[in-house]
Amino acid sequence: MNCMKRRRLLALALAVAAAACDAAHEAASDELTIVVQGDRRELEQQDRALHEREEALTKEKTQLDTRIAELARGLKAAADAQQKARLEEELRRNQDLEGQINVRASALQAQKSEVEARKQAIDADAQKVAQAALVARQAAVVAREAKVAEREGQLAQILKDIDVRGKDISVREKDVALREKAVSAFERQGPPPEYRDPRTVPKAAAVEKKHRELLADLESRGILISDLPPEIQPLNANVFAAKRQGDFSRAWDLIGQLTKVMARLKVDQKFVEQKMVRLQGARGSAKLSDDQRGEVEKLLREVTAAFSDGHYDKANKGLNRIAVILDAGVASG
């Protein structure tokens, strides 16, 4: 999961870097486009202005040509010298104006040619700049590809190292689990018997006597093996096993452990409450006859009464009788 997350983060970083580079190139291209478009708009405005001036000049020349033609006809039909002189003077002025219009038309045409030339130059420059920008972008892409390949190689090595470390940790985890299991098994076996000089090894009779005294103490206090802590309950069976194997030193040590636990046990309210809960669970799984069930219910009433009065020893003995009936029910089932 962590590896996948790292891969996604790296891919995102590469995508962001690529987007940033693309944005830079696009920004430069946009700036160039803006400049070119600005120049073209300026030339188009000039072109429109020249066109308007050309139309006005053409209109003016048309009107002037019409007037000159009228003056020429009037001059031919002039009746006297004074009228003829006046028409000739006006005709001369209009002809001068016509010459000026022709000069203005020539200048206007020159300006139009200049604007057109500038348009072509701008288009040519824009193409050159665009080609140069394209070449630069291609070079940038190649450089970015090389960097990405390098970073991908580094990432692959990092992921490889992580996989190796993960496998190593898995092996160590398994080893620790096995060691924990072995330690737990060893702890359940109880501590090893202390080394004793052969002359001090307890005799079988002494071990047997001490064990009987322990069991008698359990019985007199109304404490069952099932009343002991779960980790202590197997010790009594281990005592019997050690005696059968002739390992009296171990049997002696186990009896000592049981004796210490017994010394800490008290038949009090908490002890009886825990025992009642435990037997209640056993009661649910036991197969009892009607007589046994009736006897258990009777004993439970007596136990409850004794418990309420604070007579915990009496309540405990009643629970022990119930335990015997339940054990018989389980055995018969």
Distance from the first to the final alpha carbon of the chain: 52
13 or 289: which carries more pLDDT confidence?
A: 289
Give the whole-angstrom CA distance, residue 159 versus residue 166.
10
**Residue 134, CA distances (Å) to 139, 258, 300 in order:** 9, 91, 97
Give the whole-angstrom CA distance, residue 293 versus residue 63.
137
294-324 tens-digit pLDDT: 998 999 999 999 999 999 999 999 998 998 8
Count CA atoms within 13 Å of residue 291 on its CB side.
1
Tell me the percentage of the chain whose pLDDT exceeds 70. Answer: 82
Least confident of 100-114, 164-178, 235-249: 164-178
252 or 183: which carries more pLDDT confidence?
A: 252
Which amino acid, residue 301?
R
Q: How confident is the model at residue 255 (pLDDT cuts 50, 70, 90)?
A: very high
1-51 tens-digit pLDDT: 444 445 554 445 445 444 555 555 555 555 656 656 677 788 888 888 888
Indicate whether 212 pLDDT > 50. yes
142-191 tens-digit pLDDT: 889 888 888 888 878 888 778 788 787 888 888 788 777 766 655 555 44
Contacts of 279 (CB under 8 A, 6+ apart): 319, 322, 323, 326
Indicate whether 270 pLDDT > 80. yes
Residue 30's pLDDT is: 57
Indicate whether 286 pLDDT > 60. yes
Residue 14's pLDDT is: 46
Contacts of 234 (CB under 8 A, 6+ apart): 188
Least confident of 78-87, 104-113, 267-276: 78-87
41-86 tens-digit pLDDT: 888 888 888 888 888 889 988 998 898 888 888 878 877 888 888 8
- Alpha helices (H) along the chain: 2-76, 81-188, 204-221, 234-244, 248-264, 269-285, 290-308, 312-332
Cα 41 to chain center, whole Å? 53
Contacts of 208 (CB under 8 A, 6+ apart): 243
> Exposed (0-12), middle (13-18) or buried (19+): which is 227, by Cβ within 10 Å?
buried
Give the whole-angstrom CA distance, residue 68 versus residue 96.
11
Indicate whether 244 pLDDT > 90. yes
Do residues 223 and 267 lie in contact, with contact meaning Cβ atoms separated by under 8 Å?
A: yes
